[in-house]
Amino acid sequence: MARFNVDQGTIEGGEQVVRRLADLEGVFAERTAYNEALRKGNPVVYTVSSLQGTSGDGELHCGLGTIMPGRVGREFHLTRGHIHAYRPAAEYYIGLRGNGIMLLEQENGEGTEWCELLPDRLVHVPGNTAHRTVNTGDEPLVYLGIYPATAGHDYAAIGQRNFRSVVIATAQGPRVMDRARYLEELLEH
C-alpha cells in the first residue's frame, strides 16, 4: 500500500523527477517561442513520481505525472514522451485531475492517434507505441501510469524525430494538428 498526493504530485516511497523548461530543448515546435519563454524564466513544466521498488518478470511499476498548465507559443505544456525500451510493454494511464490529451504513435507508422485524458478516463497504450501527455487545461493535469517493471523508458528514439502531431490552442479550443503543417503555417504568417 502506498499513499499518493494529487495536489503535490508525490507517491509515498517514490522518487520525483522534475522537468523544467530548460530540460525540454527541441521538444516544442516553435523554437523562437521556446527561447523567448526561457528568457522570462525556467518554470517547472512537469514532474513524475515513480514507484519502482519491485523488479522482475510479472512485476509492475507506476508513475504519478503532473503537468503544469501553460503554453510555449500556441503549443500546450507536454511531457517529453517516450516509447518503452522493451517495445511490447503496454501501459495504462488513469486521469485524476485536469484536462489533457495523449498522443499515441506507432514507431514506424503514419500519423498520430490521440485521445482525451480526463479524471474519468482510462487510456490503454499498446506495446510498440510512443506516448506523450499534454495539458490542455488551466489547472495541473494529474494522472497515474501503470506499466510492466521490465518496460524501461526510451527517450532517444522519439527525441530524434519528435512526435508527428502538435496540440495547439485555437479560438475553438485545443486542436491536434500535423507538426510539419503547423510549422509551415507559422512561416506563412
Question: Which residues contact Zn ion by CB under 5 A?
Answer: 91
Q: How far is the CB of 82 from Zn ion (least distance, A)?
A: 6
> Which long-range contacts (C-beta less than 8 Å, at least 24 apart) are formed by 21-26?
21/45, 21/72, 24/80, 26/159, 26/162
Q: How far is the CB of 154 from Zn ion (least distance, A)?
A: 10
Query: For Zn ion, which is the closer residue by CB, 9 or 73?
Result: 9
Query: For Zn ion, which is the closer residue by CB, 30 or 91?
Result: 91
Query: For Zn ion, which is the closer residue by CB, 124 or 181?
Result: 124
Q: How far is the CB of 130 from Zn ion (least distance, A)?
A: 9
What is the number of the residue whose Cβ is closest to Zn ion?
91
Q: How far is the CB of 131 from Zn ion (least distance, A)?
A: 6
